[in-house]
Amino acid sequence: MQLKGKTAIITGAAGGIGRATVLRFAQEGAQVVAADIQGEGAEETAHIAGADYPDAVIAHTVDVSKGDQVERLISETVSHFGKLDVIFSNAAIMRDGSVVDLPESDWDTLFDANVKGAFLCGKYGIPAMRQGGGGSFIITASVNSFYAESDIAGYCATKGAVLQLTRAMAIDHGPEGVRVNCICPGWIETAMSQPFLEENPEGREFAGTIAPVGRIGQPDDVAGVAVFLASDASRFVTGAAYTVDGGWTAGMTKALALI
Ligand SMILES: NC(=O)c1ccc[n+]([C@@H]2O[C@H](COP(=O)([O-])OP(=O)(O)OC[C@H]3O[C@@H](n4cnc5c(N)ncnc54)[C@H](O)[C@@H]3O)[C@@H](O)[C@H]2O)c1
């Protein structure tokens, strides 16, 4: 029960990493708001959690790129649970393309969801966390925050931006008791990575090959690190980027060197 007594908001909670983290947080004793633009998916997450942890999780429909909606998410969380200790700003989208191929509107949509979403969660969430004496703010960045991949230029740019936002927020709000860290996942099997895995029959094998641990990641592999960063076990950790990639970005494995 590492999160007993804590209240958390998790965005992008309709599936994938967000849903897995909602379930882990509830298991660890937290009260959780499962927030997503896909309201039905968020409700489903709350329903699944409710089977084992009644009343621990409520769902909330939100577009994290809209200030008024994020402000409402924060105020309704505080009215329902009485306080706010943890925000896991995890929602994001993927759009393919080099800068030449990516439509201008997709660039804007990527930055609205992936970067502005984290900014707004901080803008409205940190004052609420300060009222309770501090808290933990976690952003899902990516290995693409520091390791670019072909044909996803806009997505890579957004993930680089949230890594630096993490550090800037950690410096500004550390003195107020708010810690800010990010998690940088490698290949994780979710709806976001599904198109790659489906389009490339060898994709799953490749994702395992490039990671020294020899397999693609699962959403719960990320959730465990989110629990640590949300808990008091990480009380002296802020401004940090935790790579959760099975060792992919540590260097070239023997198998990859032979390709
Ligand atoms: N899957 C991977 O391989 C991988 C790797 C590195 C980083 N990530 C990051 O992990 C995080 C979670 O993604 P996932 O892999 O679980 O994929 P996912 O597609 O299952 O989850 C993303 C969720 O964000 C929600 N969302 C998108 N835009 C939103 C908005 N404007 N407002 C509210 N919710 C919104 C979606 O509805 C979806 O439920 C993302 O930040 C993603 O960039 C994923």
Domain that holds residue 88: 7-191+218-250
Give the tens place of pLDDT for each residue, 56-111.
999 999 999 999 999 999 999 999 999 999 999 999 999 999 999 999 999 999 99
* Mean pLDDT value across residues 194-200: 84
Q: How far is the CA of 180 from the centre of ligand 1 (A)?
A: 19
| Spatial distance between the Cα atoms of 50 and 39, rounded to a whole number of angstroms | 16
Q: Is residue 53 part of a domain?
A: yes
Structure confidence at residue 257 (pLDDT):
65
Give the tens place of pLDDT for each residue, 18-69.
999 999 999 999 999 999 999 999 999 999 999 999 999 999 999 999 999 9
Residue entry with tokens 């309704």 = 76
Q: Is residue 97 part of a domain?
A: yes
Number of domains in the chain: 1
| Beta carbon of 191 within 6 Å of any ligand 1 atom | yes
The ligand 1 atom nearest the CA atom of 144: 6
Q: Which two tokens stand for residue 118?
A: 């984290």
Q: Is the pLDDT of residue 10 over 70?
A: yes
Of 36, 66, 189, the one to substitute when testing ligand 1's pocket (max ligand atoms within 8 A of C-beta) is 36
CA-CA distances (angstroms) from residue 228 to 31, 59, 98, 144, 245?
A: 16, 23, 36, 22, 16
Q: Which two tokens stand for residue 174?
A: 């550390």
Give the tens place of pLDDT for each residue, 225-250.
999 999 999 999 999 999 999 999 99
Confidence of residue 210 (pLDDT cuts 50, 70, 90): confident
Q: Is residue 98 part of a domain?
A: yes
| Beta carbon of 225 within 6 Å of any ligand 1 atom | no
| Spatial distance between the Cα atoms of 149 and 193, rounded to a whole number of angstroms | 14
Q: Is residue 152 part of a domain?
A: yes
Structure confidence at residue 205 (pLDDT):
81
Q: What share of the chain is helix, strand, coil (3-state, %, to 5)?
A: 50, 15, 35
Structure confidence at residue 259 (pLDDT):
60
Q: Is residue 199 part of a domain?
A: no
Lowest mean pLDDT among 4-18, 93-107, 137-151, 242-256: 242-256
Give the tens place of pLDDT for each residue, 166-194.
999 999 999 999 999 999 999 999 999 99
| Beta carbon of 45 within 6 Å of any ligand 1 atom | no
Closest C-alpha among 26, 160, 183, 153 to residue 89: 183
Nearest-10 Cα torsion for 117, 120, 126, 131 = -130
| Beta carbon of 18 within 6 Å of any ligand 1 atom | yes
| Beta carbon of 113 within 6 Å of any ligand 1 atom | yes
Q: Is residue 202 part of a domain?
A: no
Q: Is the pLDDT of residue 221 over 90?
A: yes
Q: How far is the CA of 188 from the centre of ligand 1 (A)?
A: 11
Kindly write down the DSSP assignment for every residue of 104-126, as one continuous string.
HHHHHHHHIIIIIHHHHHHHHHH
What is the domain-level CATH number for residue 227? 3.40.50.720
Confidence of residue 204 (pLDDT cuts 50, 70, 90): confident
| Spatial distance between the Cα atoms of 32 and 230, rounded to a whole number of angstroms | 12
Q: Is residue 94 part of a domain?
A: yes
Structure confidence at residue 157 (pLDDT):
98
Radius of gyration (C-alpha) of the chain in whole angstroms: 18
Catalytic residue numbers, as ranges: 155
Q: Is residue 255 part of a domain?
A: no
